[in-house]
Structure 1
């Protein structure tokens, strides 16, 4: 499974790293970024939850 954050869409709310800290973090540009590629098997559910809860739909997990 692979995660991606659309930096043009991301508003830097911090929700995704709070839901899936093993997959996402806040980067120097103030936006979220992926820190696990591929997504660890035990983090797949939380990565999908972060995708579903992103307020601007900036996350894609597949």
Structure 2
């Protein structure tokens, strides 16, 4: 299983992550990012990574359990 690391200080509320993976990311009415999953299930892993990749300020990163344990 994977999780999402989110740097709220970097986020500028562009919303590209939400457009790419609305099952994983959502911007609220104040353009604050809300993660819709605590742990990324395997069926959403590719979407979560795609949403993180399109972030223009690199505020998102998908980390696998094994990667986080290092």
Do both share a fold (TM > 0.5)?
yes
CA RMSD of aligned residues (A): 1.3
Q: How many residue pairs end up in the alignment?
A: 62
- Return the offset for 1:31: 2.1
TM-score norm. by structure 1 comes to 0.86
Matched, 1:47 2:48: yes
Q: Which runs of 4+ in 1 moved over 2 A?
A: none
Q: Can you give the 5+ residue segments of structure 2 that lack an aligned partner in the other structure?
A: 64-70
TM-score norm. by structure 2 comes to 0.78
Structure with more of its chain in strand, by fraction: 2
